[in-house]
Amino acid sequence: MTVPHAVSGTDETHFIADVRKLLGGGEVSLQIPKRFGHAFDPACSQWYVTLFQPGEKPLRWGSRRRTAEASVLGAVAGLRKRKAFGAFDIADPSACRIMVEMVTEAVPCELKALTWMAISPTRYEPGVSGLRCEWNGQVRYVMPTDAVTHSLMSVTQLLDFLARRFGLAERGEEEEARAERMLSLPLQCSLLKSVAVISYESEALPLYRAIPAPFSLSAAGVERVVRESIGWLADNMREDGRFLYYYDPIRDSEADFQHPKNPGYYNILRHSGATITLIEGYEHFKEERLLAAARHSIDFFVTTLCEEEGRDGYACYPFYNKKSKLGGAGIGLAALMRYEHASGDTRYRHYAEGMVRHLLGRIADDGEMIGYYRHPRHQNGAPLVDIDAETKRALFSFYYPGEALLGLALFYAHADAAPELKTAILTQSRRALDFLVHIRPERYADLFEPLPADSWLMQAIEAWDGIAEIVTDAHRAFVYGDAAQMIRHMYMPDDALYPDYPGGFYYRFGDHVYHDGSRCEGLMAAYRLARQRGDRAEMTRVLGPMLLAARGLLATFNTPESTYAHRDPARTVGSFRFKLTRQWVRVDAVQHAACFYARLLPFLK
């Protein structure tokens, strides 16, 4: 278990059942659970009872009285008077879920002193901290659980939410502007902590950071995660073969937060990553529907291909959103070859060979792989050839070269292509690897962050090492070195700022935790590389932290227990959300995590 959630005792189960009876108009002799009763402080213990039901906005009422019992009764009475109360099926525990939350601590603070990415007495930790503010005779609470139920993470988002609570949000205004307005007001504020429990069927689930305890990292638990997350991708495909790209379950919206003015935005690289995930699932479970879904997604991918006659023959490349990215061709090629290898179906081989020729043509004489072939901001969108160093820097990507090299490795391993093409793949891939490991760190030193992000290259080197003799000790050292750097930037049990931080990453110590499936894939690549080399020392160095990361990432998996605040919980169960409290679901968050757990599963059995 990632965090030390309190075990729900019979007193909390009876308590939630009694609250349900009270909400239904019954009479009970209310007994306050020990966990709440021991922490009750009449000076600050505001209580809230909140109702959740699919299709309905959460309904909440708060109360603070001299006793805990009176406070709960006050909150229940307030809820029953709400106009929307009748929409909730109180009598059905499987339909209406009930949360009870109580403030346990309130410490005065200055709003301007709040931080969230620095260690400070006034740190706002989403899901753990809350805020009580008083202004102009009005008091507003942002409870700790609001971070999950309203998808909040940063201080700016907190202040924006507070502005809306005070009725100070203007239509069309950016959240940063609302946050600035809140900072300008003479508010009296306190940072809050709380204790909370939520119903689930006939149970009462204790919450930490408004999340029920994830299940343990066991073979059975991980197999469930793999089945459900890969199944989620297959179940959320469009008729044309695209995946559900983005979903905000709090707002019930598919408009990507990064492209608010383009609600139909789609990313072809992440599309191919999801295709690979379906094939991972097929290889594990042999479910034909997953292979059929992968083929359907590839059929969409090939509609994006532009064809041309290159210097060495037929070539093709994906062109989407007015761009042709190196990674789009690389990860697309990887998806085609994973499909061909799993199915024996060679129907896409012609396109695969075309993308191979395209990728080889994007490797410069010194081995640098150019990030884009076409870009609307460069040369009016025309193909980019013979570009200068400044343009190469502008088109730089940490991710695309590794994706390209992975695609080339899989083609070399699985396709019976002409010998001259395979020779060119070997020669050019070795040149590109040497550039990435030896030259790139110097040429682009200023672009490197303390936390590595090149998991695709780690996977590519692992793949090449098992295929051909082009991987050197220096290339392997890169993989082990990036894994070691990731581990150095991982919260451990002895230094984690919060109980659910271990296994998560940070750029700088004190950052809000990054539980990240992509970097977990990088650790897995390092572990599998060491395993296929028989390097037990490296295996040992990576295994413990990788398992810790796997435990931490489970806290972002959407289960029936954890999706209580989602407008349509059935739509998100089986997916992964962006962060511990941010409820956004995007296809790459699901596919990276699902692939990591699929590759982890054999080592847990």
Q: How high is the pLDDT of residue 9?
A: 66
What are the C-alpha distances in Å from 254 to residues 147, 229, 523, 549, 567?
20, 19, 31, 29, 13
Distinct helix (H) and strand (E) counts, the chain = 20, 13
Give the CA-trace dihedral at 351, 357, 358, 360, to 10 degrees: 140
pLDDT in tens, 58-91: 999 999 999 999 999 999 999 999 999 999 999 9
**pLDDT per residue as tens digits for the range 87-117:** 999 999 999 999 999 999 999 999 999 999 9
Give me the pLDDT at residue 90, please.
98
Protein fold of 10-206:
Dna Ligase; domain 1 (3.30.1490)
Overall average pLDDT of the 255-284 stretch: 93
Element containing residue 99 per DSSP (H, E): strand 97-109
**How large is the angle between the packed helices 219-235 and 268-285, nearest 10 degrees?**
130
Q: What is the pLDDT of residues 191-220, one digit of tens each?
A: 999 999 999 999 999 999 999 988 789 999
Record the tokens describing residue 217, joined without a space: 């990292």
3-state SS of 278-341? Answer: HHHHHHHHCCHHHHHHHHHHHHHHHCCEEEEEECCEEEEEECECCEEEHHHHHHHHHHHHHHHH
**Residues of the chain above pLDDT 70, percent:** 99
Q: What is the pLDDT of residue 1?
A: 35
Alpha-carbon span 466 to 472, nearest angstrom? 12
Q: How far apart are CA 151 and CA 158, in angstroms?
A: 10
Q: Where are the domains of the chain?
A: 10-206, 217-268+557-605, 304-448, 449-555
Q: Return all residues near 391 (Cβ < 8 A) that are at least 6 apart.
A: 378, 384
Helix, strand, coil fractions of the chain, as percent rounded to 5: 45, 15, 40
557 in Cβ contact with 551 (< 8 Å): no
What pLDDT is attached to residue 48? Answer: 98
Q: If you average pLDDT over residues 486-509, what whole number do you get? A: 97
pLDDT digit string (tens) for 325-342? 999 999 999 999 999 999
CA distance 552 to 25: 41
- CA gap 147, 162 in Å, rounded: 12
In this prediction, residue 2 has a pLDDT band, given cuts at 50, 70 and 90, of very low
CATH entry 1.20.200.10 includes domain 304-448: no
Cα 186 from Cα 205, distance rounded (Å): 38
Predicted TM-score of the model (pTM): 0.95
pLDDT of residue 161: 95
Q: Which pLDDT tens digit goes with each residue over 571-587?
A: 999 999 999 999 999 99
